[in-house]
Amino acid sequence: MSGLETLWSEGKDFLGVRIPIIAGAMTWISDSQFVSAIVNEGAFGSLAAGNMKPSQFEAEIKKIQGFTDKPFAVNLITIAPNYKEHLAIATENKVPFIVFAGSFPRQPEVKTAKDSGAKVMCFASTESIARRLIDIGVDALILEGSEAGGHVGHVSLGILLQQVLFKFDEVPIFVAGGIASGTYIAHLLLMGASGVQLGTFFVMTEECRAHPRFKQAFIRARARDAVATPQIGSELRVVAVRALRNKGLDAFAELQVDLLQKRRSGEISHAEAQYQVEDFWVGALRRAVQEGDIESGSLMAGQSVGLIDQVLPLRQALNLLIIEAKEALEKITRKCETL
C-alpha cells in the first residue's frame, strides 16, 4: 500500500470510495448529473438540496440512484423552509449519507437520519461545536475554513485544524476551504485529516454545467477577488457569503440597508427580512450559474479561485490531484530520511 493509500484509508473506508475527496454541495451546480459523474470517477459527490421543491428533490435522488450504485450524500440546509420534508425524503429513499448544513441539526434529527441507515456528517467551526456534534451522534465532521466559497464562517482552516483536527479522534474529520492542489491535500492528510472537500476546484471541470462566462470569471480572478460579504448592523442574522466582487455583491449591501430600515419601521417582520436575504442569494447565484450574468449575479467562489486557471475533464483533474499528492509525499519522505 502506497503512502497516499495509507494516509487516506480511513476516509476511503468511511465514504466507501476509491478517492476520499468530497465535491462540496453547490446550489444550482451539484445536481444529479454532476454528482453521478463525480462518484462514477471514484470520488464522493453531494446533492445540494437547497430549498428545492420536495418532489424535485426526490426525483434528483432517484436519478442518482439510477445513474450509479456508488455511495453519495445529500446536503440538507437546516434553515430551509423545505428542510423537514427533505429529511423525510432522504430517509425514505435510503440515501447512504446525509450532510447537515446551514445550522446545527437537533439530536432527534440526527437519530432519524441514522435510523434510516445513513451516515451523518456535519460542519464544525469551533472546538465546542465539534464536541457537541460528536456527543449527539454524528459519524464524521467537516471543517470548513473561511477561505471557502458560498456561506462561510469567520475562522480560517489553519485555526480550525488546531482547534479541532488536532484535538479530536473519535470520528473521521474531513477538511475544506482554500484547497486546490494535491500538494496541500498530502500535507493535510499528514496532519490527520481523513480526506478533504473541494468546491471551487470542481466548478472548473468540463462535467460541471455552470455557464461558460461563470467559469471564465473564475479563470480571470485572483485569490483576493473572492471576498466575504459584510454584515450591516446586528439585527439580521447574515451568514457571510464569499464570492467574487461585482455589482451583485454591492447590491447585497444595499439590500441589507433597505431591509433594516423596513424592519425598524415595522413594514416587514424579522422572518421576512431573513427570507429575503436568502432569496437574494439563491436568485443571484442562479442567474450567474445558469444564465452567465457575471455582473449582477452571485459568483460564489473560494479563495482557491486564484490557484485555478483552466477547465479540465473531471478524470484528468482528479488524477492531477493524486499525482501531486504522491509527489509531495515522496518529497517529504526524502527530507525526513536526511534528518
302 pLDDT more than 70: yes
- 162 and 256 fall within a common domain: no
312 pLDDT more than 70: yes
Query: For residue 296, is it within any domain?
Result: no
Which candidate, 94, 151, 95, places its Cα nearest to that of 125?
151
Query: For residue 59, is it within any domain?
Result: yes
Write down the H helix ranges in the chain. 3-7, 9-15, 32-40, 54-67, 83-92, 107-115, 127-135, 157-160, 182-191, 200-203, 212-220, 247-265, 270-291, 314-337
Q: Is residue 148 within 8 Å of residue 199, measured between CB atoms?
A: yes
- 199 and 219 fall within a common domain: no
**pLDDT tens, position by position, 228-270:** 987 776 676 677 789 999 998 888 888 888 888 888 888 888 7
- 134 and 245 fall within a common domain: no
What is the domain extent for residue 11?
3-210+307-337
33 pLDDT more than 90: yes
Please indicate whether residue 276 or residue 331 has the higher confidence score (pLDDT): 331
Sorting pLDDT into bands at 50, 70 and 90, what band is 92?
very high
Q: Sheet of 226-228: strands edge to edge?
A: 150-151, 241-244, 226-228
**pLDDT tens, position by position, 99-150:** 999 888 999 999 999 999 999 999 998 889 999 999 999 999 999 999 999 9
**Residue 177 backbone zone (phi > 0: left; psi -120 to 50: alpha; other: beta):** left
Sorting pLDDT into bands at 50, 70 and 90, what band is 224?
very high
Query: For residue 274, is it within any domain?
Result: yes
Q: Provide the CB-side half-sphere exposure for 190 (13 A, CA).
A: 15
Rounded mean pLDDT, 50-59: 95
- 48 and 143 fall within a common domain: yes
pLDDT for 233: 66
pLDDT for 186: 98
Residues 6+ apart with CB under 8 A from 32: 47, 60, 61, 63, 64, 67
- 284 and 323 fall within a common domain: no
Q: Which three-class secondary structure state does DSSP give residue 74?
A: strand
Q: How far, in Å, CA of 47 to CA of 98, rounded?
A: 10
Query: For residue 145, is it within any domain?
Result: yes
Number of continuous H segments (helices) and E segments (strands) in the chain: 14, 11
- 191 and 284 fall within a common domain: no
- 35 and 82 fall within a common domain: yes
29 pLDDT more than 70: yes
Query: For residue 130, is it within any domain?
Result: yes
pLDDT for 70: 97
Please indicate whether residue 305 or residue 81 has the higher confidence score (pLDDT): 305
Rounded mean pLDDT, 36-55: 96
Sorting pLDDT into bands at 50, 70 and 90, what band is 80?
confident
Q: Which three-class secondary structure state does DSSP give residue 84?
A: helix
8-state DSSP, 90: H
- 272 and 203 fall within a common domain: no
**pLDDT tens, position by position, 156-207:** 999 999 999 999 999 999 999 999 999 999 999 999 999 999 999 999 999 9
Per the prediction, the chain carries an average pLDDT of: 93
Place of cell 439510477: 66
What the block records as the C-alpha cell of 22 is: 468530497
- 242 and 322 fall within a common domain: no
Share of the chain above pLDDT 90, in %: 78
- 73 and 206 fall within a common domain: yes
What's the domain count of the chain? 2
37 pLDDT more than 90: yes
- 203 and 148 fall within a common domain: yes
Query: For residue 299, is it within any domain?
Result: no
- Specify burial of residue 268 (Cβ count, 10 A radius: 0-12, 13-18, 19+): middle
Please report, for the domain that includes residue 118, its CATH number.
3.20.20.70
Rounded mean pLDDT, 322-338: 94
pLDDT for 1: 55
Strands 44-48 and 73-77: parallel
Place of cell 437519530: 111
- 245 and 164 fall within a common domain: no
Strands 140-144 and 150-151: unpaired
Share of the chain above pLDDT 70, in %: 98
